[in-house]
Amino acid sequence: MPVTKFNTPEKYKYQNGFGSYHESEAIAGALPIGANSPQKPPYGLYAEKLSGTAFTAPRHENQQTWLYRILPSAAHSPFQAREQSSYNTNPEGDKMHQIPNQLRWDPFDLDESVDWVHSLKLVAGAGDPTLKNGLGILIFAAGSSMAKNEAFYSSDGDFLIVLQHGVLDIQTELGHILVRPNEICIIPRGIRYRVELPAGPVRGYILELYQGHFQLPELGPIGSNCLANARDFQAPVAHFEEAPAGEYTIISKFNGHLFAASQTHTPYDVVAWHGLYYPYKYDLGRFNTMGSISFDHPDPSIFTVLSAPSDHVGTAIADFVIFPPRWLVGEDTFRPPWYHRNTMSEFMGLIGGEYDAKTGGGFQPAGASLHNIMSAHGPDAGTHEKASNAELKPTKVGEGNWGLKQCKKVQEDYNESWTPLQPHFKLPEGVKRVSNLVEGVDESPAGLDIGKSINGNGASGEVNQGALPHYT
């Protein structure tokens, strides 16, 4: 299957690979050699460790990244509660009401009056972010970019962002990521970022994972390749800014509520980094679909892109599954998904086109459905009648369609320990920045609308920026 063709050309460089140990520097020599925290890091930078797992987690599970930044992220004022959010309550202030009914939503409206942070709405979930178990399902519909002096992060969980409409230009601490329809983006818990909307309003879905992190599913008898391949995941390259002094706002999503702190330096000052804990993106057009070539419809787990395993082997906290364009050839087979009840709740969003298990326009792009645990569901009546009597010739289905499957002991002045920190960063004469932009891409707003092939084959051109050498 060819990679997705995008109307918006790629403009950033990336490092390829899922779960790979990456390193990047925006200035040659910014990464310390042979040490993580030398007495004096290069260029007067501060060393800061970002941990995504416990320090004592087994080596194969341990995720951490070392950042080398102009000022540490601890240098900000105390967080203060902000406006009431809709991340975990309804307007009346009650906790979300959960029912066993099958549910379906009409397309969610675009809201051009809000930015990314204030567009996030929790519509479903299970578990508790304070206990770090379970997940939340959010929808977003934003019409304006975040302010230049803002950064947002979630303390509650990892964001798996599925874009349905528009383009997201995300500036993270570790570098830039451009997200277009048919691409997904994962931003791990705690990583700070801001979202720009270069092509106007955006809309989509988010799976927020409160527990653990996403992994590639085991392939078992499939072998060593197919489904989502590790090499097709892309991580940002280092990029930093030296913004003038001024007030910056750090917005935290903490237990479903918003808090804000201020600081007098940019949060996007990471000059170099190395580690396993970073944001990344994936083009769903690169998913290598598997299926039956004899008879019977396989379990939908065959379409799993990413999985979040639980402590019980074989049972996931969440699976992210897609139903991409694919051929159906099964003989004497009811080809749409069969009717079923199962132990996993299924939330589905439609990016575009028609879902092959539903007819009549009831399930529309930008809409959603929820089939809770043991709630019976399957094809609607029209689909059942059609599929039961169809000529069983090879058929291509799912084109243009992507689915989403779900104490009074506090020291009040503690934050003041870090506010006096001062930058010591100095760039020696003659040392140049390493560009994070793809050569030849027009950065102007008009340039973003050009359906331009960078690699000459009609697909988007992502450039692999690997680790820089330290030969002296």
Q: Which residues are catalytic?
A: 297
Residue-by-residue DSSP string for 40-81 = S-GGGPEEEEEESS-TTS-TTT--EEEEEESS-TT-SPPPEE
Q: Collapsing DSSP states into helix, strand and coil, what is residue 325?
A: coil
DSSP for residue 199: T
Beta bridge partners of 397: 326
**Stated length of the chain:** 472
- The DSSP H or E segment spanning 381 is helix 381-389
Contact 385, 357 (CB under 8 A): no
**Distant-in-sequence, close-in-space partners of 81: CB < 8 Å, separation ≥ 6:** 257, 258, 259
Would you say 340 is a known binding-site residue? yes
Question: In which residue are the tokens 């689915």 written?
Answer: 403
Contact 441, 448 (CB under 8 A): no
Comparing CA positions, the residue from 9, 16, 30, 7 lying closest to residue 434 is 30
CA distance 347 to 340: 15
Which token pair is 98? 């959960």
Would you say 213 is a known binding-site residue? no
CA distance 151 to 85: 17
Residue-by-residue DSSP string for 159-185 = EEEEEEES-EEEEETTEEEEE-TTEEE
Question: In which residue are the tokens 């993106």 written?
Answer: 281
Beta bridge partners of 396: 327
| 146 residue type, one letter | M
Q: How many Cβ atoms from other residues are within 10 Å of residue 35's Cβ?
A: 10
Contact 71, 329 (CB under 8 A): no
Comparing CA positions, the residue from 283, 322, 328 lying closest to residue 405 is 322
Would you say 14 is a known binding-site residue? no
Would you say 60 is a known binding-site residue? no
Residues of the binding site for Fe cation: 340, 377
Residues of the binding site: 340, 346, 355, 377
Residues of the binding site for homogentisate: 346, 355, 377
